[in-house]
């Protein structure tokens, strides 16, 4: 099985540390609002990854976090906590807000046939682990204190730009993507622990050796991933928007603390975009939810089919015409499987379907090439020489990965 590794920029043979187990950490939702369908594209590709690993004989162990504190509105460590802002917007406590949107997220997640992780870990339930990790970094000389928190000194970590490439520093300059604090030694330095503002009471804050406050967004993932999966993960997943800052910072703080590689493979999914190539994002205020798709007469699995029609590392352009095509295609696929099942009375027999199955397996093992995999399924179902029992076997074999 081959996967594209963002870290090396190569498609590589996947070999886990302790086969057949394959450990996977995926960045979960920040539960301050509904997830949009662009968010769910990432979770669909991660679900397919788990299914492909199983089909290739691995035993995935999957951990997903829920960010329910510490994700600020800026790419940097400036601005309000999204949870606190959401609380003010909706008149709920931050805790009520988190549980409401967490449930909404997993309802949508399940409706897309995404299988639940082995462990779902909330940031607010792992504060001691985060504090312990920051203390380790402090003891090893990787931190410094400013007026608003404890920061990681990126100059102490020589390979800081390895994942994203050094060019992204241009986007970190003051006045660009982030707000530059004069107290920070470098624009790339990031908060490990933020102090609560003295003039404003936060709902979510905890005592720490440095003062009352809350964890930085990046430290949350490192602490939870290493607690449940060890110092070195086999695969760390997320969207491409995580590469330059969030995942770069995770690598820095994790490897500074342990002296070991944090993840063997970094696997990232591309954006869902609109026709004018704009990324779908909650920050813009314009985004589509699964609920909107359902109200327009689609089912969530129509959207899953749409996502399977594009390689996970290519941008997917959303349109209602594309959704109509996906709905029609899924209906035809189901009908072909039902028709074959009716003729053979549900008795699948793979004899004769070996060529199509091999083509499907080859496609999914090649960096999850789902468009090619779908084409192999359609070719088999349209093959007049294939018996209904063989067609049913092909459909069942494929659906273990497709999840339709």
Closest CA to 31 of 81, 80, 75: 81
Number of H helices, E strands in the chain: 12, 13
Closest CA to 213 of 192, 194, 191, 190: 194
What is the β-pairing status of strands 10-13 and 2-5? antiparallel
Is the predicted pLDDT of residue 177 greater than 60, yes or no? no
Sheet holding 233-239, edge to edge: 119-122, 59-66, 21-26, 233-239, 263-269
Closest CA to 365 of 63, 48, 47: 48
Closest CA to 323 of 346, 287, 294, 358: 294
Tokens 């504190």 identify what position? 69
Q: How confident is the model at residue 275 (pLDDT cuts 50, 70, 90)?
A: confident
In degrees and rounded to multiples of 5, residue 18 shows phi and psi of -135, 75
In degrees and rounded to multiples of 5, residue 263 shows phi and psi of -150, 140
pLDDT at 176: 45
DSSP, res 102? H
CATH number of 8-269: 3.40.50.620
| 332-354 pLDDT, tens digit each | 999 999 999 999 988 889 899 99
- How does the average pLDDT of the chain come out, rounded? 93
Note the pTM of the prediction, 2 decimals. 0.94
Tokens of 362: 């080859």
Cis peptide before 20 (omega within 30 of 0): yes
Is the predicted pLDDT of residue 247 greater than 60, yes or no? yes
In degrees and rounded to multiples of 5, residue 261 shows phi and psi of -60, 135
Q: How confident is the model at residue 288 (pLDDT cuts 50, 70, 90)?
A: very high
CA 164 from chain centre, in angstroms, equals 17
CB 244 within 8 A of CB 164: yes
Q: Output 327 or 279, whichever has higher pLDDT.
A: 327
> How crowded is residue 298: how many other Cβ atoms within 10 Å of its Cβ?
19
CB 35 within 8 A of CB 103: no
CA distance 117 to 25: 9
Residues 6+ apart with CB under 8 A from 100: 31, 92
| 382-394 pLDDT, tens digit each | 999 999 999 999 9
State the SS3 of 137-195: HHHCCCEEEECCEEEECHHHCCCCCCCCCHHHHHHHCECCCECCCCCCCCCCCEEEEEE
Cis peptide before 49 (omega within 30 of 0): no
Residues of the chain with CATH 3.40.50.620: 8-269
CA distance 172 to 178: 6
């Amino acid at each position: 099985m081959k996967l594209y590794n963002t870290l090396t920029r190569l498609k590589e043979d996947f070999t886990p540390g302790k086969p057949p187990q394959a450990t996977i950490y995926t960045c979960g939702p920040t539960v301050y609002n509904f997830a949009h369908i662009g968010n769910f594209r990432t979770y669909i590709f991660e679900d397919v990854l788990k299914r492909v690993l199983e089909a290739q004989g691995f035993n995935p162990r999957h951990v997903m976090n829920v960010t329910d504190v510490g994700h600020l509105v800026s790419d940097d460590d400036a601005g309000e906590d999204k949870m606190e802002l959401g609380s003010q917007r909706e008149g709920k406590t931050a805790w009520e807000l988190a549980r409401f949107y967490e449930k909404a997220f997993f309802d949508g997640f399940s409706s897309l046939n995404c299988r639940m992780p082995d462990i779902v870990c909330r940031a607010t339930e792992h504060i001691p682990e985060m504090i312990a990790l920051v203390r380790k970094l402090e003891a090893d000389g990787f931190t410094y204190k400013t007026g608003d928190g404890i920061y990681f000194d990126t100059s102490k970590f020589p390979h800081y730009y390895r994942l994203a490439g050094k060019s992204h520093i241009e986007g970190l300059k003051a006045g660009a993507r982030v707000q530059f604090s004069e107290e920070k030694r470098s624009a790339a330095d990031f908060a490990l622990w933020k102090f609560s503002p003295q003039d404003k009471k936060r709902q979510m804050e905890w005592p720490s050796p440095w003062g009352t406050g809350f964890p930085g967004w990046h430290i949350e993932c490192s602490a939870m991933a290493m607690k449940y999966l060890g110092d070195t993960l086999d695969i760390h997943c997320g969207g491409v928007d995580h590469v330059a800052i969030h995942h770069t910072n995770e690598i820095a703080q994790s490897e500074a603390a342990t002296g070991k590689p944090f993840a063997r493979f970094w696997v990232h999914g591309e954006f869902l975009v609109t026709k004018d190539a704009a990324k779908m994002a909650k920050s813009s205020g314009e985004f589509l939810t699964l609920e909107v798709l359902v109200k327009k007469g689609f089912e969530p699995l129509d959207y899953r089919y749409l996502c399977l029609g594009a390689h996970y590392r290519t941008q997917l352009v959303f349109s209602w015409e594309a959704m109509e095509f996906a709905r029609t295609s899924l209906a035809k696929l189901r009908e072909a499987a039902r028709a074959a099942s009716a003729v053979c009375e549900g008795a699948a027999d793979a004899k004769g379907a070996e060529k199509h199955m091999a083509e499907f397996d080859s496609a999914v093992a090649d960096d999850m090439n789902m468009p090619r995999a779908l084409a192999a399924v359609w070719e088999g179902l349209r093959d007049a020489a294939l018996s209904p029992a063989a067609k049913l076997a092909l459909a069942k074999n494929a659906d273990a990965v497709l999840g339709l």
